[in-house]
Amino acid sequence: MERFGRSGPDQPAFELDNWTVQEVRFLAAIYLGNGESSGVRLYPLPIFRDIDEQAVDAVIEDETLLKPLLTPAATDDYFMAGNHGLLPQKLSQYQFFDWDDRRLEQATTFFSAADVNDPILVRGLHALLKSEMLFNHFQFRDASLASSHIALDAAYSMILRQLRTLGARNPSSYDAQAYMDEMYGVPHTQLKFFEDFYTDRVRNFHTDSRYGAEPIPFFSIDDIWDLNAALKGLFYRLVTGDLHDETRRNRDEYLRYNMIEVG
C-alpha cells in the first residue's frame, strides 16, 4: 500500500486522522495483547509525539517512554470537560498497566506478526481501536458500535480470503463461521458468521431495513462489549495463528459448560 507518497509503516492509516499504519499496529498490539476483557482503552487527546522505538515491548516495559505522551498539550481543564466522572479527572490519576511477562509476550507476538501491508487487517484494527475511543463518551456509543461493525466486516473478509486460498470458490457466511469454529476448536455451530450480531448491524447501517425504520435504533452497552471482546480474540487468532490465553480459557469454559470434552 502507498498513501500520500509514503509506503510501509509510516503511511497514514486514514486521511482524516494522524495515525500511521505502524501506530495502528502498535496500539492494537497493546489492546489485543491484553486479552478479550482488556481494560486498555485509548482516550482521544490532541497530542502528537514521536517515539523512536520499533519494538512494542520497549515501550510497554518502560513507562518513561509512554508516559510523556499524556503530558504535552493536555491540561487538567481538558479532562474536566464533559467526561461526567467516567474518566480520570486529572493527568495524575492515570495509572500505567502492570504488565506481566505473559501478556507482554503475547502483545509482542501480535506486533511481530501483524502485516502493515494488509489493508483489510489495518482497516479492521483501526475501526476496533476507534470503537473503544468513541465508547469513552456515551453520546457517541452508537458510532462506537458502527466502528465495531466495520471491524467485524474486516474479520469476515479476512476469513473469506483465507477460505478462497484454501480452494473455496464462493464461501458463504456459514462457511466463515464453520472455519472460525475449527480455528477455535469447538464443534460446528451451524450458524452464520457472528449471527447474533447480524440484525444489529443491519439496523445500525440502514435507516430503513426489513426490520423497520427507527429514529434512533436501540442498542445495549453489552452489544458493544461482547462484540469487541469477541473481535479481540478473533483478530489475535487471525494474525498470530494462535489463541490468546484468555480466549483459550473462555473456549475451554464454553466446552465444559456444554459438557464437551476439552482437547
The predicted model gives 36-44 an average pLDDT of: 71
Of 61, 69, 8, 9, the closest CA to residue 42 belongs to 69
Q: How far apart are CA 141 and CA 147, in angstroms?
A: 10
Residue-wise pLDDT tens digits, 106-135: 888 999 999 989 999 999 999 999 998 888
Average pLDDT, the chain: 78
pLDDT of residue 174: 96
The most confident of the ranges 138-142, 213-217, 251-255 is 251-255
First to last CA, the chain: 40
Q: Using an 8 Å Cβ cutoff, are 83 and 45 in contact? A: no
Query: Confidence class of residue 105 from pLDDT cuts 50, 70 and 90?
Result: confident
Query: Confidence class of residue 58 from pLDDT cuts 50, 70 and 90?
Result: low
Neighbouring C-beta atoms of residue 165, cutoff 10 Å: 8
Query: Confidence class of residue 43 from pLDDT cuts 50, 70 and 90?
Result: low
Please, is 220 exposed, middle or buried when counting C-beta atoms within 10 Å of its C-beta (0-12, 13-18, 19+)? exposed
The most confident of the ranges 1-15, 31-45, 186-200 is 186-200
- Record the pTM: 0.77
pLDDT of residue 244: 94
